[in-house]
Amino acid sequence: MSVSTRPLTDQELTAIRGEFPILTRTVREDRPLVYLDSGATSHKPRAVLDAERGFYEQHNAAVHRGAHQLAEEATDDFEAARETVAGFIGAATDEVVFTKNATEALNLVAYAFSNAAPTDADKDEQFVLRPGDEILVTEMEHHANLVPWQELARRTGATLRWVPLGADGALDLERLGDLLTERTKVFAFTHVSNVLATINPVTELAAAAHAVGALVVVDACQSVPHLAVDVRTLGADFIAFSGHKMYGPMGVGVLWGRSELLDVMPPFLTGGSMIELVTMERATWAPVPAKFEAGVPNAAQAVGLAAAIRWIEGIGIDRIHEHEASLVAHLMTALAKRPWVRVVGPQAGVDRGGAVAFLVEGVHAHDVGQVLDDAGVAVRVGHHCAWPLHRSLGVAATTRVSLGVYNTVADLDVLLEALDRVPVIFGTEPEISSVAASDHGQAEAS
């Protein structure tokens, strides 16, 4: 992984953009596409498209089955992809489990907890949840890292608690002491908020969770594509991320877990390929990671993800982070000059992820999105799968700009020009009223 933070030159940016066929297309009456929705999904460079197609054209076979040459090659490609992913996040190869996406990876861990039935003789107590036990999440979670834990609480009788949102888009960490106790069995939180772009202090939070014996699950969906993540120093026990947000294909995600935990964790999906021995009465499990990869896996997509990682490494993840950070700074400065725009989350000067979500005075986010779309600018509007977070902010919806390495200052200029038409079209006042004070009260659900 590169540690260079030499800014991307204009020539490099042009070359990078040239690798994304979709960026040359037009939308809405022949306007050039300005894609500012990479937080939802990034585009895919030719290297990724070629790798996926190459797998199907040359090696297509069900991996880990069959003794023929194609099966061997497909298996080798799939396992090489695992090695590439592991290298990218500083993991051991067999700690990388391929899933469909981050949502499945998070569900895998949540289901593992409830599959560790209290009556099971082989159970590992770390994964057994009973009434009286607690699951801790935060108020800024994407639904993918909230609903599986709500459901786990419902299945097991454990209690769900959450760290409320504090000031300036950060978590209210003063509450952590009350919320993280010896009853907490798992603390699940996002590394980078997909709305606020807040970067949470994972190492500090993980240390606090470990001090009370809780396991730590980190949603790394919005961090792994944008900043260097090394599981050896991060402090988490599990991390989850999606390939499609990091220039890779849709249909592949990753769960990383500490091998000593994966070894004792019950499986989520069962069936072919994940067994060691099967009789008519019962089955035993294959070693990790196969134990968590039931059925024919998404080998072509894993191969595409490995190509995406090699492509990222060719630029350097630190340079990607710096490039996106400079665009965020440019956008924050420009938005600060528009008093009718209010950015949610950390304000200028605070390190944040590659997204900026905002409100426009007196205009619903869906209407803002419509004006931008008419100008060829693709952003996301709504609650961005973080409904409780928006409720806590006292707003129904925001407009979110989210960046990828292929974005440029010129993209932001087109965005800003279109944005400036919004108050004109809607005849709104040029000053934004303050966001309704949120009641950051703590509630509980079991």
How would you classify residue 161: left for phi > 0, otherwise alpha for psi between -120 and 50, otherwise beta? Answer: beta
145 binds ligand PLP (CB under 6 A): yes
Nearer to ligand PLP, 190 or 301 (CB): 190
- In the block, tokens 């890779």 appear at 248
How would you classify residue 428: left for phi > 0, otherwise alpha for psi between -120 and 50, otherwise beta? Answer: beta
Nearer to ligand PLP, 41 or 75 (CB): 41
Query: Measured from the CB of residue 320, what is the shortest distance to ligand PLP in angstroms?
Result: 17
Nearer to ligand PLP, 184 or 194 (CB): 194
- Assess whether the previous peptide bond of 45 is cis (omega < 30° from 0): no
Q: Which residues are catalytic?
A: 385
Site for ligand PLP in 77-96 (CB under 6 A): none
342 binds ligand PLP (CB under 6 A): no
Residue 392's H or E segment, with its range, is: helix 387-393
Kind of pairing, strands 159-163 and 134-138? parallel
Residues 380-399: x/- map of binding to ligand PLP (CB under 6 A)? -----x--------------
Among 101, 198, 298, 399, which residue sits at the site for ligand PLP (rule: CB under 6 A)? 101
Nearer to ligand PLP, 37 or 95 (CB): 37
Judge contact between 47 and 67, C-beta under 8 A: no
219 binds ligand PLP (CB under 6 A): yes
The rounded distance, in Å, linking the Cα atoms of 112 and 119 is 15
222 binds ligand PLP (CB under 6 A): yes
200 binds ligand PLP (CB under 6 A): no
Judge contact between 421 and 428, C-beta under 8 A: no
Give strand ranges (E) for 318-376. Answer: 341-344, 355-360
380 φ, ψ to 5°? -110, 140
Among 42, 84, 103, 392, which residue sits at the site for ligand PLP (rule: CB under 6 A)? 103
Among 23, 81, 144, 415, which residue sits at the site for ligand PLP (rule: CB under 6 A)? 144
Bridge partner residues of 400 (DSSP) = 357, 380
190 binds ligand PLP (CB under 6 A): yes
Structure tokens at 266: 């019950």
Nearer to ligand PLP, 75 or 194 (CB): 194
Among 82, 142, 226, 400, which residue sits at the site for ligand PLP (rule: CB under 6 A)? 142
Structure tokens at 213: 């014996």
Query: Measured from the CB of residue 362, what is the shortest distance to ligand PLP in angstroms?
Result: 28
Instruction: Summarize as ranges the residues that interact with ligand PLP (CB under 6 A).
Output: 40, 101-103, 142, 144-145, 190, 194, 219, 221-222, 242, 385
